[in-house]
Structure 1
């Protein structure tokens, strides 16, 4: 999108938002607007609202954060660009859109790079997370913390998936990503990239056998109605980022920068706790509706099958070093 047009649309949209936004701004010396593509009530949205409450209290009402969920300030890619240009102050986004911008994010988006959600948290909360934050900084984004995007697993309408051989010849919808297409090929399955909104009908009509996603998405999309076999292989455990525009950051005093960073870090366990509760709720809902969840599979053969994917996407010494550091993290 043309940035001048984007800037104009956002400014107009903010003016048209009316009295509520104007009143909000009048209450605070510093008003920060935060964008999210997820709907109202989603764990990421509620975590940033928690951050805003804490920030207002600890600044004695000087600093406020207004959260705009459900892509109210634009779809994810546009929201990221607007945050880079300082039109939006903060953004919560998945790592996917950054893969071509921040090379390090592509590495942590590889299949089975994380052994578990806990492993991902330890990696992202440590020196590796700091290294990736430097990559974001090069593109005018200051990382406040890393949220949890959940674990993506396979589900289908045909049979339980318990081993790699069960995937052979099956057709799975994947995101429009070369990494995902290559992942499915390495597992012996056929990848069918398609928009998310077409998945339900495509499974229902047999165009595809299944798809892959985290449990809340599997639940709220209704996909469990047409694909009752869900396997917790957790092939992708995706971090998400909460970042503030460098331009907005530099307008803050050093004291306010420190406060925002502190509260941003504190919002991370809040978000992860909300996410865990959401996963438990969704799992209970799909099981009650008749879904069959396969657990405790041997993941090693799935991991071993990724050798050609890693050979293709982990080609530079820097990438190989980062993978080694991630795998060595305990």
Structure 2
């Protein structure tokens, strides 16, 4: 089914591409159109202006993953196929195909932007090597959507109240974490969450405050518990054959431009988090989102300890087993890099 879908979409894209022999066409598969302001105000404008910014003789065709009709879980397969030249990788979603990606952002690992920068920098070289060997792709950097917090339809006061509830999660690490709390982790595309909350298909859902605001989640929930579980790592990668169409000097210009985008998103993500938390809970100033009136549950010391302990007790052991199954040196490398940072 995937191969048939690939052939159909390839034919459609080839028919729509009319570039001269000298001009390099870069087909970019972006973040979902409804996922929030990072996609709308940073990613899409950047790629649409990439030719002008770099001075390269390129034509960029940017398409959000949901508009393309491609499951965001297929990002790495799409990249390897060459159907798109650059893919905006959604880390949690593609981790089923490449578990090492999840090692950048295990539950309990990145509870702040500062920690996230340190840990992702330490391990992204290994992830990049895996993408190159397994998916014929070059990693062009990583960035966070922002702290992933918990939105619930029933009122909750802390993590203990998740017991018995159905919680939408972004990846297996989060599913394992909520299972330890007595909840059931349910995976579903972002676009389906708001309606699922409204209908009671799920009781709670995990995402960043800005994405929740863009997706209208506060309309279907009552409470937000702002305990940061992860940073929701994303990134950019380019198909190696596409990369090799450029000269070394051109590659340097392209990589430098995307480095700048990654850096810009890191800063923007932090600004968005603070503004969206104010918007979602009816506080001011609310400059970038829609105002709502969610109750903000107080994060207890017990909740902070539960999240901090999750790395050693839940997320690392389960993830290491999955990652070692496809890459025997995965856990060992993680412990020598991120593990060393943590003093493990």
Q: Fold match, TM over 0.5?
A: yes
Distance 1:320 1:53, change over 3 A: same
Question: Separation in 1 of the partners of 2:306 and 2:11?
Answer: 52
Give me the whole-angstrom Cα distance separating, in 1, the residues matched to 2:143 and 2:258. Answer: 10
Matches of 2:169 and 2:202, distance apart in 1: 11
For 2:13 and 2:168, the matched residues in 1 are separated by 35
* In structure 1, distance between residues paired with 2:116 and 2:271: 18
1:86 aligns with 82
Q: Are the equivalent residues in 1 in contact too, given 2:153–2:197 (CA < 8 A)? A: yes
1:96 deviates by 2.5
Closer, same or farther: CA 255–150 of 1 in aligned 2, 3 Å: same
Q: Secondary structure at the match of 2:226?
A: strand
Query: Cα distance 1:192–1:259, how it changes in 2: closer, same or farther (>3 A)?
Result: closer
CA distance in structure 2 between the partners assigned to 1:195 and 1:53 by the alignment: 29
Contact 1:47/1:270 (8 A) holds in 2 = no
Q: Which residue of 1 aligns with 2:337?
A: 325
**Is residue 220 from structure 1 mapped to residue 226 from structure 2 by the alignment?**
no
Match of 1:290 in 2: 293
1:199-214 mapped onto 2 (5 Å cutoff): 199-214=193-208
Structure-2 change in CA distance of 1:65 and 1:110 (3 Å): same
**Offset at 1:311?**
2.8
For structure 1, the residue ranges without an aligned partner over 5 or more in a row are none
TM-score by length of 2: 0.79
Which residue pairs with 1:10 in the alignment?
10
Q: Return 5+ residue gaps in structure 2 as ranges.
A: 283-291
- Once the 2 structures are TM-superposed, how far is the Cα of residue 73 of structure 1 from its aligned partner? 3.6
Going from structure 1 to structure 2, the CA distance change for 1:79 and 1:326 (only over 3 Å counts) comes to closer
- 1:321 Cα deviation from its structure 2 partner: 4.4
Greater mean alpha carbon deviation, residues 227-236 or residues 299-308: 299-308
Counting matched residue pairs gives 320
TM-aligned CA distance change 1:320 to 1:153, over 3 Å = farther
Deviations along 1:188-227, whole A, 9 cap, x unmatched? 3333445555544544454543221111222122221231
Say if 1:55 and 1:143 are closer, same or farther in 2 by CA, change over 3 A.
farther
What RMSD, in angstroms, separates the aligned Cα atoms of the two structures? 3.1
**Is residue 244 of structure 2 the alignment partner of residue 247 of structure 1?**
no
Counterpart Cα distance in 2 of 1:305 and 1:88: 36
Q: Where does 1:167-178 land on structure 2 (aligned, <5 Å)? A: 167-175=162-170, 177-178=171-172
- SS, match of residue 329 in structure 1: helix
Call closer, same or farther: CA 1:260–1:204 in 2, change over 3 Å: closer
3-state secondary structure, aligned to 1:123? helix
Distance 1:43 1:96 in 2: 17
Is the Cα–Cα contact under 8 Å of residues 85 and 242 in structure 2 kept in the other structure? yes
Structure 1 position 140 matched with structure 2 position 136: yes
Match of 2:306 among 284, 301, 309: 301
Provide closer, same or farther for how the CA distance between residues 174 and 47 of structure 1 changes in structure 2, counting only shifts above 3 A. Answer: closer
Query: What is the deviation of 1:320?
Result: 5.0
Counterpart of 1:233 in 2: which secondary structure? coil
Contact 1:35 1:72 in 2 (8 A): no
Contact 1:99 1:105 (C-alpha < 8 Å) held by counterparts: yes
Structure 2 residue matching 1:158: 3-state secondary structure:
coil
| TM-score, L = length of structure 1 | 0.82
| Post-superposition offset of 1:290 | 1.0
Matched with 2:286 is none
- Secondary structure of the structure 1 residue equivalent to 2:178: helix
Give 4+ residue runs of structure 1 displaced > 6 Å after superposition: none
Q: In the alignment, which residue of structure 2 is the partner of 1:238?
A: 232
What are the superposed Cα offsets for residues 79-101 of structure 1, whole Å, 9 maximum, x if unpaired?
53232122311110211243233
For 1:186 and 1:77, locate their aligned partners in 2 and report how far apart those are by CA, in whole Å: 25
Equivalent residues of 1:161, 1:294 under 8 A apart: yes
